[in-house]
A and B are shown apart, each in its own frame.
With several copies, the nearest count.
Chain A
Amino acid sequence: MHDTVDIPLALAWVREIAAAVEQQEGRLTELDSAIGDGDHGSNLRRGFTAVLAALDDLTPASVGAVLTRTGTTLISKVGGASGPLYGSAFRAMGAALPGERADRAEFAAALAAGLAAIRKLGAAEPGDKTVVDAWTPALAAFGQPDATLAAAASAAAEAAAQGVRDTVPLQARKGRASYLGPRSIGHPDPGAASTELLFQALARVTAASGPSGSPG
């Protein structure tokens, strides 16, 4: 259990996301095939594979350095809608975390900055059936007072999962799925699903015992 996010934990988080994306690539692509163009899984896998290599070359001086490098790499390697969106989100989180460690409140502020970056770039409102619909409830859940970091992350992951389910009845208004009009209804949003993976990964690494960086 961790109560602050330090550099090893940030590294662990991103690596945990990469592992989850690798494992869930097929499912993300399948979701994107239904209402998009069938590349969300391969997009993120390509991106996070590059992120892993980039992090190996990095000696980060701050939590933010990890996340900034992650974001920059995603922008350089992913393309599509998710590359700039997630890339900008990580870069914004990185900019918000200049220190060697961040407490829960600071990390919450970083997550909020990430969401703001996504919304600024993509101009999506909640309910538009995008990543915003998972990130928004996750952020709200993470921010609950008095929770430990691990409890906050766990609550955020659950809220993100609910957010994904809540995208099912929505008609998309942003991204490719919007081209389908009412036919986008009845499917979860692939980007919301990958956002859930981000928060699940956060929950896992913050809950892990042992020294930061080696989540159990």
Chain B
Amino acid sequence: MKKLINTPDTVLADALAGFAAAHPELTVDLDNRVIVRGSRPAAPKVAVVSGGGSGHEPLHGGFVGPGMLDAACPGEVFTSPVPDQVLAAARAVDSGAGVLLVVKNYTGDVMNFGLAAELAAEEGIEVRTVLVDDDVAVEDSTWTAGRRGTGATVVVEKAVGALAGRGAGLAEVAALGERVNAASRSFAIALTAATVPAAGKPGFDLPEDEIEVGVGIHGEPGRRREALRPARELVAEVVDTILADHDLAAGDEVIALVNGLGGTPLLELYVVYGEVHARLAERGIRIARNLVGNYVTSLDMAGFSLTLTKADPDLLDLWDAPVTTAALTWS
């Protein structure tokens, strides 16, 4: 295993210390492992809190700041945060208007955030939860733990952060989160496996000419193994898989996220974006907004995910609202 770390056990503590040093504009509670926006909002507002296992950077800490998250709770690598962290975050950012938890749909995250929500409620903090489950590689059936939360998390967090900033109430912000999640679908392809520091070796072995199709963001193998093919063909498969599950028709607009899984160069992500753009154009679907880069990663995994969120004027307006975070900034 080749990693720029001190020891596998201290990866999170060391990275968090580095993040705190690099971002003096944020408040980082190194003991509780909570990243909080630097200044209190001017008026009470719904606080948006997210979190999850580490190894997906810049998610979630990179999205803390005005216009997006009020706090983030990084768990150990690929391990959801513990309830104490989430509770500490909720306490730190609740201004009386309630707290929205944005939770990716994994058994561990659901349980730990769920326990935290109970504890927070006991303390009189009003809490609502939005569950993100956008990964069409997983069938949502009694045969699975439900669809995974992946790239759509960024879109949900951006939208609810903007709406909360405009003073909307907790129920309204939560409803928006659910709506954005429902309008989003993702699918990912891996060219290499991720190596969890504590495991010390790649999660799976992949021959030089094969890829894993339908992977998540935790290094687990995908739904099936295929031969590596040109980007155009891979993208066609990914786009078509998403569209088969989406209610997008010619004339619709989307927000598109071409997301690197951590080990893929931006040059290749732009190749992928070009193909996505062309494939959707053939279907009459217009990309109204896009992100191309590493946003929801899986450590050093090479590969990409595509997220398509059906857009409407309201959502685009929230998307365009100013945001100032470590990983996403515009005005």
User: Direct contact between A and B in the complex (CB less than 8 angstroms)?
Assistant: yes
Residues of A within 8 A of B (CB): 29-30, 33, 35-39, 41-43, 46, 75-85, 121-122, 171, 173-181, 183
B80 touches A178 (CB 8 A): no
Residue of B nearest to A47 (CB): B82
In the complex, what distance in Å separates the CA atom of A80 from the CA atom of B111?
8
With a cutoff of 8 Å between Cβ atoms, the chain A residues found around residue B77 in the complex are 39
B62 at the interface (CB under 8 A from A): no
A76 touches B107 (CB 8 A): no
Residue of A nearest to B83 (CB): A75
In the complex, what distance in Å separates the CA atom of A14 from the CA atom of B113?
26
Which listed residue, B76, B83, B112, touches A42 by the CB 8 Å rule? B76
Residues of B within 8 A of A (CB): 8-9, 53, 75-84, 106-108, 111-112, 115, 137-139, 142-145, 148, 196, 198-199, 201, 203-204, 216, 218-221, 223-224
In the complex, what distance in Å separates the CA atom of A121 from the CA atom of B118?
13
In the complex, what distance in Å separates the CA atom of A78 from the CA atom of B78?
12
Q: Given the known inter-chain contacts A79-B108, A84-B111, A178-B143, please indicate yes or no for A41 contacting B198, CB distance below 8 A.
A: yes
Which listed residue, A171, A176, A180, A181, touches B106 by the CB 8 Å rule? A176
Contacts A84-B112, A122-B111, A179-B148 known; list 20 others, CB within 8 Å: A33-B196, A33-B219, A36-B220, A38-B78, A42-B76, A42-B198, A42-B199, A43-B76, A46-B76, A75-B115, A77-B82, A79-B53, A80-B75, A80-B79, A80-B108, A83-B108, A84-B115, A85-B111, A176-B216, A178-B145
B219 touches A37 (CB 8 A): yes
Residue of B nearest to A173 (CB): B143
Residue of B nearest to A30 (CB): B199
With a cutoff of 8 Å between Cβ atoms, the chain B residues found around residue A183 in the complex are 221, 223-224
B145 touches A39 (CB 8 A): no
A selection of 19 A-B contacts at a CB cut-off of 8 Å is A33-B201, A37-B220, A38-B219, A79-B81, A80-B53, A81-B106, A83-B82, A83-B111, A84-B111, A171-B143, A173-B143, A174-B107, A176-B107, A176-B216, A176-B218, A177-B220, A178-B138, A181-B223, A183-B223
Q: How far is the CB of A28 from chain B (nearest CB, A)?
A: 10
With a cutoff of 8 Å between Cβ atoms, the chain A residues found around residue B79 in the complex are 39, 43, 78-80, 83
A75 touches B82 (CB 8 A): yes
With a cutoff of 8 Å between Cβ atoms, the chain B residues found around residue A75 in the complex are 82-83, 115
Q: Given the known inter-chain contacts A176-B106, A180-B220, please indicate yes or no for A38 contacting B82, CB distance below 8 A.
A: no
B107 touches A175 (CB 8 A): yes
Which listed residue, A41, A46, A176, touches B220 by the CB 8 Å rule? A176
Q: How far is the CB of A189 from chain B (nearest CB, A)?
A: 13
With a cutoff of 8 Å between Cβ atoms, the chain B residues found around residue A179 in the complex are 137-138, 144-145, 148, 216, 220
In the complex, what distance in Å separates the CA atom of A83 from the CA atom of B81?
10
In the complex, what distance in Å separates the CA atom of A174 from the CA atom of B106?
10
In the complex, what distance in Å separates the CA atom of A5 from the CA atom of B33?
37
In the complex, what distance in Å separates the CA atom of A187 from the CA atom of B111?
25
Q: How far is the CB of B145 from chain A (nearest CB, A)?
A: 5
With a cutoff of 8 Å between Cβ atoms, the chain B residues found around residue A121 in the complex are 111
Residue of A nearest to B201 (CB): A33
In the complex, what distance in Å separates the CA atom of A109 from the CA atom of B157?
45
A38 touches B203 (CB 8 A): yes
Q: How far is the CB of B240 from chain A (nearest CB, A)?
A: 20
Which listed residue, B8, B111, B137, touches A81 by the CB 8 Å rule? B111
Q: How far is the CB of B137 from chain A (nearest CB, A)?
A: 8
B83 touches A38 (CB 8 A): no
Which listed residue, B8, B139, B143, B220, touches A35 by the CB 8 Å rule? B220
B143 touches A29 (CB 8 A): no
Which listed residue, A76, A82, A173, touches B144 by the CB 8 Å rule? A173
With a cutoff of 8 Å between Cβ atoms, the chain A residues found around residue B82 in the complex are 75-79, 83
